[in-house]
Amino acid sequence: MNKKPVIIDCDTGTDDAIAIIAALYSPELDLRAFTTVAGNVELEHTSRNTLNLVRYLGFDTKVAVGAAQPILRRTIIHSGDNTHGDTGLGTLVLPKTDQPFYNQTAVETIYEEALKADGELELIPIGPLTNIAQAIMVHPDLKNLIRRIVFMGGAKYGGNITTTAEFNIWGDPEAARIVFAAGIPLTMVGLDVTLKAALNLQDAADIRRIGTPAADVAADILDFMFERLGRGGEDALMHDALAVGVCINPDLVKMKHYFVDCECSGQYTAGHTFVATNRIFQGEPNCFVCEELDLPAFKAWLHGAIARSKA
Ligand code: RIB
Ligand code: CA
């Protein structure tokens, strides 16, 4: 099997952690690095969570630290409403590894791996796009070195952090605008499909029954998500795992090519992904937008990936 060289850029958080587990046990991926960004919680937590999780599961994949702030907006973006708990992994506490972070920044790690992969590298951003945008600005030749970016973010309609914006894009709209304009092939795994990617108690029980440390981490996080739902929070939505799944198997969704840009200046609409679905505005299509989800196929893929932790 030709493994696909990828970097996952994450703001580990609860659903990021499940996405990371699925990616680690997916033989289709050659995981070159994880890069971290502030988002769900502060950078120190998103970075620490990523490194602790990857090392706890026995993998030596490099983890490079990225941006602590969005490009222009000055606030540290984090959910704040306990969507991911104080440190980002709900109530889960992982053993603290004493191994170091990689000795390059996220930007330089992305560039280094892009050069090595000689045009085949794919990026899977599952947090705000700050690192990706900065990498494109610092190394303009990246446009010719990145095969594709499959990102969790945006929405044709609606939002989850405001009524018009999805959290990752809202977290750094200027970064999103740079990515949409870069000319790199894009696949947007937005709320139109991720709001349908909910796991239920039976799915969690099936995962727990796998009986490995990886499965227990995923099941513990799902238990936190169900508790969160019980207090009026978000459902057990696999936003980020779906982006990993689509990178591996695009048949999990149906997608269409549209012109997409990000609203940066609207008082009420900053972070809105404008998807030109009508004839009034016909920009040159630059992004495949996921519109429908094969939920049973996604669940089967996710369970299968986590179950490979038994091998
Ligand atoms: O809107 C969902 C996204 O925001 C996910 O990536 C989740 O982890 C949060 O970062
Ligand atoms: Ca995320």
Which ligand lies nearest to the CA atom of residue 15 in the structure? 1
Q: Is the CB of 164 under 6 A from ligand 1?
A: no
Q: Is the CB of 168 under 6 A from ligand 1?
A: yes
What is the CB neighbour count within 10 angstroms for residue 100? 9
Please, is 104 exposed, middle or buried when counting C-beta atoms within 10 Å of its C-beta (0-12, 13-18, 19+)?
middle
The closest-lying atom of ligand 1 relative to the alpha carbon of residue 152 is: 6
DSSP category for residue 186: E
Q: Is 65 helix (H, G, I), strand (E, B) or coil?
A: strand
* Residue 77: predicted pLDDT: 61
User: What is the whole-number distance in angstroms between the Cα of residue 234 and the centre of ligand 2?
Assistant: 14
| pTM exceeds 0.85 for this model | yes
Collect all residues with Cβ–Cβ distance below 8 Å to 228 and sequence separation of at least 6: 82, 83, 90, 234
DSSP category for residue 28: T
Please, is 112 exposed, middle or buried when counting C-beta atoms within 10 Å of its C-beta (0-12, 13-18, 19+)?
middle
φ and ψ at 89, to 5 degrees? -115, 35
The closest-lying atom of ligand 1 relative to the alpha carbon of residue 16 is: 8
Q: Which CATH number describes the domain made up of 4-310?
A: 3.90.245.10
- Please give the chain's pLDDT, 311 residues, in tens: 789 999 999 999 999 999 999 999 999 999 999 999 999 999 999 999 999 999 999 999 999 999 999 999 876 566 656 788 888 999 999 999 999 999 999 999 999 999 999 999 999 999 999 999 999 999 999 999 999 999 999 999 999 999 999 999 999 999 999 999 999 999 999 999 999 999 999 999 999 999 999 999 999 999 999 999 999 999 999 999 999 999 999 999 999 999 999 999 989 999 999 999 877 776 899 999 999 999 999 999 999 999 999 98
* Residue 1: predicted pLDDT: 75
Q: Is 148 helix (H, G, I), strand (E, B) or coil?
A: strand
* Residue 79: predicted pLDDT: 61
Collect all residues with Cβ–Cβ distance below 8 Å to 115 and sequence separation of at least 6: 145
User: What is the whole-number distance in angstroms between the Cα of residue 123 and the centre of ligand 2?
Assistant: 14
User: What is the whole-number distance in angstroms between the Cα of residue 167 and the centre of ligand 1?
Assistant: 6
Residues annotated as part of the active site: 239
The closest-lying atom of ligand 1 relative to the alpha carbon of residue 14 is: 8
Please, is 58 exposed, middle or buried when counting C-beta atoms within 10 Å of its C-beta (0-12, 13-18, 19+)?
exposed
- In terms of phi and psi (left: phi > 0; alpha: psi -120 to 50; beta: otherwise), the region of 297 is alpha
108 token code pair? 């330089």
Instruction: Sketch the domain layout of the chain as residue ranges.
Output: 4-310
User: What is the whole-number distance in angstroms between the Cα of residue 251 and the centre of ligand 2?
Assistant: 22
Q: Is the CB of 39 under 6 A from ligand 1?
A: yes
First to last CA, the chain: 18
Beta strands in the chain (DSSP E): 4-10, 29-36, 62-65, 121-125, 146-152, 186-189, 253-258, 260-262, 273-275, 287-293
Give the Cα-Cα-Cα angle 295, 297, 303 (nearest 5 degrees): 100
* Residue 86: predicted pLDDT: 83
What is the CB neighbour count within 10 angstroms for residue 196? 16
- Mutation pick for ligand 1 pocket among 8, 10, 12, 16 (CB with most ligand atoms within 8 Å): 16
3-state percent helix, strand, coil for the chain, nearest multiple of 5: 40, 20, 40
The closest-lying atom of ligand 1 relative to the alpha carbon of residue 194 is: 2
* Residue 218: predicted pLDDT: 98
Nearest to 181 by CA among 124, 131, 132: 132
